[in-house]
């Protein structure tokens, strides 16, 4: 029988006032790597002070399951952070809003709106396929030359999100699209240098360049989105919603969800939709350059099940199991969000029998869970086959959680998976990627911005003759 609440405390790394444990963290390296290193000496569950904030770091998957699923509600809070408060008007979005009844209905509304466009209709597929077509055209026009695929990929993914959120279709070089790309880039550069963990909350008291650039980019974003919102309000009918913005406006039945919330949701779907998906695609391409035989196997699978006469469709997904494994392996080995978004304890609770008091920040280090050698054979090796069994059936290990889990699980997971599938299958059906002559393969360390991204690299594209 249990003898009351657990009293055992989580082992804590040394700390000093103001700086917290910072002097004990070998600076310069990304936090997920520092945490993984610390877990070797302190054990998989340890605490530290990030600035003034008591933070517990979870490095093993049983503990992660307690935090995200078993006691998901206890840990469903979000801390306030200086930059994300600016970004979301004090948490009027989904990702950075604290847990409360309003957030719950807001999140449900967004989820329903996604379902409306995502799984339910073929419209999303058509949108993605249109964007993929022009991406392929653009990439193939570079034939023979080495180039960085990032700008074209980002533009294509941005186009999909623009269609999804406010029905805009842009032609190459459109000035509004350029504006979107520019402000988004500015936010990405300024919002978080080393992940979304606010180690320096005192930053806000000093006027600084980064913060003013962030504010300027947010102002551009808000002007553009407010314009879209007004247009949508003026042309809204009782018919089918045309896009996410319509769906949000129509779902605004009770006025607890304000226009600010609608605006912040659109902005977030945007940011989340672009950064994560394009970065994941670029990681997978980088790994394919390192492992040409994996690319060949995907192409063989495409030839066997789809051929070259017609575009790949969502309905092909069930048969293209190897491609699915490649996507999963990419998200395992390089999770774009290696410590998820910080969680906070809403009440006194526990992890692994250790006491956690209310208000404690909790970081789930998905990086160390995805590289845990107790659960993965040679975790540093890119090996898509680990997601299939001997009969070629898909397997999903329980220590694989690139989208998180529980009450805070990513709301865009099925949209993201659909995009990753359609983009990669269409690209590899029509072209092959290789290194430019004499170039060394891409650096796989990556660098930590708002997401973990690959260092820019170059590819050469050759058309596949069908
Ligand atoms: C949250 C991963 C794509 C919207 C998250 C979280 C992760 C994640 C790890 C945090 C979970 C947590 O804090 O416990 C990914 C990955 C993606 C992806 C790997 C693509 C490969 C998308 C897309 C959208 C989206 C396409 C929307 C269009 C969101 C939102 C949240 C979120 C709104 C916040 C949920 C909440 O706090 O309640 N995602 N995501 N994501 N994601 Fe994604
Ligand atoms: C990316 C830059 C955009 O301009 C604003 C934005 C909104 C939502 C954020 C996203 C940024 C980065 C990736 C995030 C996403 C919410 C969920 C997603 C943090 C900051 C992940 C990977 O967790």
pLDDT in tens, 308-336: 999 999 999 999 999 999 999 999 999 99
Q: CA-CA distances (angstroms) from residue 361 to 31, 55, 87?
A: 15, 5, 20
CA 212 to chain centre: 25
Strand pairing category for 431-434 and 349-351: unpaired
Question: What is the rounded CA–CA span in Å between residue 440 and residue 458?
Answer: 10
pTM of the model: 0.95
363 bridge partner residues:
57
Q: Are the C-beta atoms of residues 380 and 334 closer than 8 Å to each other?
A: no
| More confident: 247 or 426 | 426
H helix intervals, 120-174: 123-140, 150-166
| Ligand 1 atom nearest residue 78's Cα | 37
**CB neighbours of 307 closer than 8 A, spacing ≥ 6?**
466
Element (DSSP H or E) covering residue 316: none
Question: What is the rounded CA–CA span in Å between residue 26 and residue 388?
Answer: 38
| More confident: 123 or 147 | 147
Question: What is the rounded CA–CA span in Å between residue 247 and residue 436?
Answer: 45
Say what the pLDDT of residue 199 is: 62
Ligand nearest to the CA of 68: 1
Q: How high is the mean pLDDT of the chain?
A: 90
Q: What is the ipTM of this complex?
A: 0.98
**CB neighbours of 270 closer than 8 A, spacing ≥ 6?**
161, 165, 180, 184
Please tell me the distance between residue 32's alpha carbon and the centre of ligand 2 in angstroms: 18
Question: What is the rounded CA–CA span in Å between residue 346 and residue 47?
Answer: 17
Query: Most confidently modeled of 4-8, 15-19, 114-118?
Result: 15-19
Q: Is the CB of 95 under 6 A from ligand 1?
A: yes
CA–CA–CA angle 73, 78, 83 (5° rounding):
165
Coil vs helix vs strand at 45: strand
Q: How confident is the model at residue 450 (pLDDT cuts 50, 70, 90)?
A: confident
Q: What percent of the chain has a predicted confidence (pLDDT) above 70? A: 94
Lay out the sheet containing 361-364: strands in order across. Answer: 45-50, 53-58, 361-364, 343-344
pLDDT in tens, 75-113: 999 998 888 888 999 999 999 999 999 999 899 988 888
Q: Is the CB of 342 under 6 A from ligand 1?
A: no
Tell whether the model's pLDDT for residue 232 goes beyond 90: yes
Shortest-distance Cα residue to atom 26 of ligand 1 = 273
Q: How confident is the model at residue 466 (pLDDT cuts 50, 70, 90)?
A: low
pLDDT in tens, 62-74: 999 999 999 999 9
Q: Which residue has the tokens 């080495």?
A: 146
Say what the pLDDT of residue 172 is: 79
Shortest-distance Cα residue to atom 11 of ligand 1 = 404
Please tell me the distance between residue 400's alpha carbon and the centre of ligand 1 in angstroms: 15
| Ligand 2 atom nearest residue 95's Cα | 16
Q: How confident is the model at residue 1 (pLDDT cuts 50, 70, 90)?
A: very low
**CB neighbours of 345 closer than 8 A, spacing ≥ 6?**
74, 75, 77, 356, 357, 358, 359, 360, 362
Tell whether the model's pLDDT for residue 435 goes beyond 70: yes
Element (DSSP H or E) covering residue 300: helix 292-305
Mutate which of 410, 420, 450 to test ligand 1's pocket (most atoms within 8 Å of Cβ)? 410
Query: Most confidently modeled of 77-81, 185-189, 230-234, 343-347?
Result: 343-347
Q: Is the CB of 301 under 6 A from ligand 2?
A: no
Please tell me the distance between residue 271's alpha carbon and the centre of ligand 2 in angstroms: 5
Q: Is the CB of 328 under 6 A from ligand 1?
A: no
User: Which structure tokens are listed for 323?
Assistant: 């491609």
Shortest-distance Cα residue to atom 32 of ligand 1 = 410
Q: How confident is the model at residue 448 (pLDDT cuts 50, 70, 90)?
A: confident
For 407, which DSSP code? G
Q: Is the CB of 191 under 6 A from ligand 2?
A: yes
Mean pLDDT of 366-374: 97
Q: What percent of the chain has a predicted confidence (pLDDT) above 90? A: 66
Ligand nearest to the CA of 449: 2
Please tell me the distance between residue 63's alpha carbon and the centre of ligand 1 in angstroms: 20
Say what the pLDDT of residue 200 is: 61
For 12, which DSSP code? B
pLDDT in tens, 170-199: 887 889 988 988 998 888 888 876 666 666
CA 430 to chain centre: 27
User: Which structure tokens are listed for 409?
Assistant: 């699980």
Please tell me the distance between residue 46's alpha carbon and the centre of ligand 2 in angstroms: 27
Q: How confident is the model at residue 24 (pLDDT cuts 50, 70, 90)?
A: confident
Q: Are the C-beta atoms of residues 275 and 450 closer than 8 Å to each other?
A: yes
Question: What is the rounded CA–CA span in Å between residue 26 and residue 38?
Answer: 10
Q: Are the C-beta atoms of residues 446 and 320 closer than 8 Å to each other?
A: no
Q: Tell me which of 89-103, 192-206, 343-357, 369-383 is least confident.
A: 192-206
Q: Is the CB of 97 under 6 A from ligand 1?
A: no
pLDDT in tens, 253-303: 666 788 999 999 999 998 999 999 999 999 999 999 999 999 999 999 999
Question: What is the rounded CA–CA span in Å between residue 112 and residue 93?
Answer: 16
Q: Tell me which of 40-49, 146-155, 190-199 is least confident.
A: 190-199
Question: What is the rounded CA–CA span in Å between residue 377 and residue 436?
Answer: 32
């Amino acid at each position: 029988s249990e003898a009351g609440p657990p009293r055992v405390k989580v082992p804590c790394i040394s700390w000093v006032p103001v700086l917290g444990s910072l002097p004990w963290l070998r600076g310069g390296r990304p936090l997920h790597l520092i945490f993984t290193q610390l877990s070797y000496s302190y054990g998989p569950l340890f605490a530290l002070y990030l600035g003034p904030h008591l933070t517990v770091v979870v490095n093993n998957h049983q503990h992660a399951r307690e935090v995200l699923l078993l006691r998901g509600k206890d840990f469903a809070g979000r801390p306030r952070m200086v930059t994300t408060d600016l970004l979301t008007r004090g948490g009027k979005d989904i990702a950075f809003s604290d847990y409360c009844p309003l957030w719950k209905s807001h999140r449900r509304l967004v989820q329903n709106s996604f379902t409306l466009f995502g799984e339910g209709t073929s419209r999303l597929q058509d949108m993605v396929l249109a964007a993929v077509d022009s991406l392929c055209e653009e990439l193939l026009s570079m034939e023979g030359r080495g180039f960085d695929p990032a700008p074209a990929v980002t533009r294509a993914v941005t186009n999909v999100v623009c269609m999804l959120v406010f029905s805009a279709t842009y032609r190459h070089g459109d000035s509004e699209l350029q504006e979107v790309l520019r402000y988004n880039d500015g936010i990405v550069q300024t919002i978080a240098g080393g992940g979304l963990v606010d180690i320096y909350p005192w930053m806000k008291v000093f006027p600084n360049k980064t913060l003013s650039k962030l504010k300027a980019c947010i102002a551009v974003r808000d002007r553009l989105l407010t314009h879209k919102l007004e247009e949508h309000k003026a042309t809204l009918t009782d018919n089918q919603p045309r896009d996410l913005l319509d769906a949000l406006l129509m779902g605004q039945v009770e006025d607890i969800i304000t226009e600010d919330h609608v605006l912040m949701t659109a902005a977030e779907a945007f940011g989340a939709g672009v950064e994560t998906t394009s970065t994941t695609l670029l990681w997978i391409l980088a790994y394919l350059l390192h492992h040409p035989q994996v690319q060949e196997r995907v192409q063989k699978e495409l030839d066997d099940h789809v051929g070259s006469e017609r575009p790949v469709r969502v309905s092909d997904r069930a048969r293209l199991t190897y491609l699915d494994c490649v996507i999963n392996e990419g998200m395992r080995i390089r999770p774009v969000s290696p410590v998820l978004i910080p969680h906070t304890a809403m009440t006194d609770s526990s992890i692994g029998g250790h006491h956690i008091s209310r208000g404690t920040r909790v970081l789930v280090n998905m990086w160390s869970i995805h590289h845990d050698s107790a659960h993965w054979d040679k975790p540093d090796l890119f090996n898509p086959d680990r997601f299939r069994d001997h009969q070629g059936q898909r397997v999903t290990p329980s220590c694989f959680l690139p989208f998180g889990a529980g009450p805070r699980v990513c709301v865009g997971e099925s949209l993201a998976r659909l995009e990753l599938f359609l983009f990669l299958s269409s690209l590899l059906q029509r072209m092959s990627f290789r290194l430019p002559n004499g170039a060394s393969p891409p650096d796989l360390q990556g660098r930590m911005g708002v997401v973990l991204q690959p260092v820019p690299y170059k590819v050469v594209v050759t058309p596949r003759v069908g």
